[in-house]
Structure 1
Amino acid sequence: MEVTLSVLATPPLPVLEQIFITSSNRTALWDQKRLPGLRCRSYERAEQLQCSLDHECECLPAESQVVCKCKDDEIMNTYQSIDNVLPATREQVRFLAHPRHGVMTKINQDVSAEIIVNVKEAIDDSITEVTDDICTIENTHLVGCYQCSKGATTAVKCTSTFQAVTAEIECGEDSFTVPCSPSGQISQLAFLMENARVQMQCTVKCGSRVNFFEVTGILKYVHKLHGNPMVYVQQKHNKTSEFRWPDVNHIVDIYLQWYKSLLCTVAVVALALLLTYMYVTTACGRIMRFFLCIIARILACVWKTVQCMSSFLVRRVCLSSNGTMKEKGLEKLL
């Protein structure tokens, strides 16, 4: 018996037809809609300048001369974009730099294989085994960005009942195949979403029974303006923009969801300010009266103390003068 792997097929992904541009030490993704002005078949021909020049120019007569406007490729701007420089991640595909082959593509799922079995002996009996297992996946959370090239990912743990099998997952228009085992196998699922709030009902089956699980999450909006900002205000007829607006519906939903809390907070703050103002305006008079009463009592106590001390001194002086007069009278009598 001979077993031959005849076909190892990758899924029909349009991103696999990607064009790359490379320098001495960096490789980046090139826009397929743009063709470079200088085209060389190989690196050796480029060194010998055996290349073809395909430029796009618009020429108009201007009196005694001709004015031409040619398209500028701006190749270096491609390397300034972080999303284009390898390693780069796209939906279900990751592009990596390879030392010998230039670019290597890594696909985690949906790779199919075709095996040919040659049997030279005569076959008397054939046994067909059908596996009818039950696979389950718990609800999971989606993490990533929407309206971006990287997309969003989620980790699912597929658990089978009897043995290790391959399960089929369907989430709307997206389909996946993941391994399952009684102990559980963890796989990564990638999605390209257009909205921020995600709530998908998915199915998983590895036999006749279908089980359901839910994928939910709130994705981030990621958009960066790379390069010189003056580029976006320059007048160029061939300038294209990849700007994408955020999910306005999600922003409005969040606002409508929390507007009650916002109104309650504003009302509480306004009430606190009003009570503070009323307390301050009425408390100032009370505080002034309180301090004036204390000062008046202190002055009254001081005045009483002065009166007592003065009366005491007067009595003392009077007593001393009376004693002196009595002594003089006794001396005269003697």
Structure 2
Amino acid sequence: QTTDLPDLFNTINRILPAHNGHWRIQNEGSTVSAVISEEVSTEVSMRIKEKADVKIVRDTDKCWIQAEHVIGCYACAAGSRAEISCFSQNNPTIANVKCGRHMYAVPCSPSGQKSTLRFFSDTAQFRQTCAVECGQETTEFEVNGILKYTGSIWTSLYRIINGNTTMHDEVNLPDFSHLTGGFLTFFKTGIMVMVTVAIIFLTTYVTIFSCCASVIRRGIWMVVKLPIKLLFKSISFVGQIRGQQSRYKAPRHIV
């Protein structure tokens, strides 16, 4: 209740520093300066009224880059970054890296020089094809990765009130296409697992049933056959006993 919000927003030294993409505006005492986090390459055009001898020196070196996966967030002021290692074939040099409409200047050497490239994306799935040039030859490399969602209205309001940022577009909705794709992938994987388990279970059941059916048929036949055998043996045994008794009871003739 005691905080004057309009005064906080209208005071320049409380609003700065301001971040937007690759640059940062900050106050240094009574002055305001703009700082770029990465090295950049620029094109310079000169108009000369007098005649002049111009020499064009072109390096014949060749450079290539090994890039790691990009990490960071999407739809955020901090952006994402990718660690790269630039190699040159002959001597240490500075290479121009072009990624879409962004250009960077990175150091290269035969043993490799590490640098950081910063990107800004509005989607979770990031994939960018870049070209590196330090002479007449141009080589390409790819930077890709899955970015995180860090948008929060409460975090943004807290940063704005405390003067840490003036980014009004920090509050963004998540990438629903990436969420939908992840859900569909999970759903397809679940269906495939269920179908595989069902096929394995059905195959096992049919195999066990076939083996058990043969055993059951043999068991039933033995169960049915055993009483019949016992019955015939009993009848045969009774017949033998009666035959022996009839011989013992037969009358003896006196001569």
TM exceeds 0.5? yes
SS of structure 2 residue aligned to 1:226: helix
What is the alpha-carbon distance in structure 2 between the residues aligned to residue 188 and residue 129 of structure 1?
Answer: 28
> 2:59: which partner in 1?
131
> 2:82: which partner in 1?
154
| 1:85–1:254 distance in 2 versus 1, CA, 3 Å | farther
Q: Tell whether the 8 Å contact from 2:77 to 2:170 is kept in structure 1 after alignment.
A: no
Q: Deviations over 1:226-285 (max 9, x none)?
A: 3899xxxxxxxxxx98642211111111111121333467787xxxxxxxxxxxxxxxxx
- Structure 2's unaligned 5+ residue stretches are 47-52, 158-167, 198-255
Q: Deviations over 1:182-218 (max 9, x none)?
A: 2222222122212110122211111111111110011
Equivalent residue runs for 1:147-226 within 5 Å: 147-226=75-154
Q: What is the TM-score with the length of structure 2 in the denominator? A: 0.56
Counterpart check, 1:105 vs 2:34:
yes
> 2:6: which partner in 1?
74
How far has the Cα of 1:78 moved from its partner?
Answer: 8.3
What is the alpha-carbon distance in structure 2 between the residues aligned to residue 216 and residue 228 of structure 1?
Answer: 27
Q: 1 or 2, which has the higher helix percentage?
A: 2
How many pairs does the alignment contain? Answer: 176
| 1:227–1:110 distance in 2 versus 1, CA, 3 Å | closer
| 1:74–1:131 distance in 2 versus 1, CA, 3 Å | same
The letter of the residue matching 2:35 is K
The letter of the residue matching 2:116 is Q
Counterpart check, 1:94 vs 2:94:
no
Runs of 4+, deviation exceeding 4 Å: 84-89, 111-114, 125-129, 264-268
> 2:203: which partner in 1?
none
- What percent of counterpart residues are identical? 31
How far has the Cα of 1:145 moved from its partner?
Answer: 1.4
| 1:97–1:126 distance in 2 versus 1, CA, 3 Å | closer
Q: What is the CA RMSD across the aligned residues, in angstroms? A: 4.0
Q: What is the TM-score with the length of structure 1 in the denominator? A: 0.44
Q: 1 or 2, which has the higher strand percentage?
A: 1
How far has the Cα of 1:149 moved from its partner?
Answer: 1.9
Q: Which has the higher contact order (CA 8 A, sep 6+)?
A: 2
What is the alpha-carbon distance in structure 1 between the residues aligned to residue 41 and residue 84 of structure 2?
Answer: 18
Q: Deviations over 1:98-121 (max 9, x none)?
A: 2x344443223226598x9xxxxx
What is the alpha-carbon distance in structure 1 between the residues aligned to residue 102 and residue 122 of structure 2?
Answer: 14
Q: Deviations over 1:270-329 (max 9, x none)?
A: xxxxxxxxxxxxxxxxxxxxxxxxxxxxxxxxxxxxxxxxxxxxxxxxxxxxxxxxxxxx
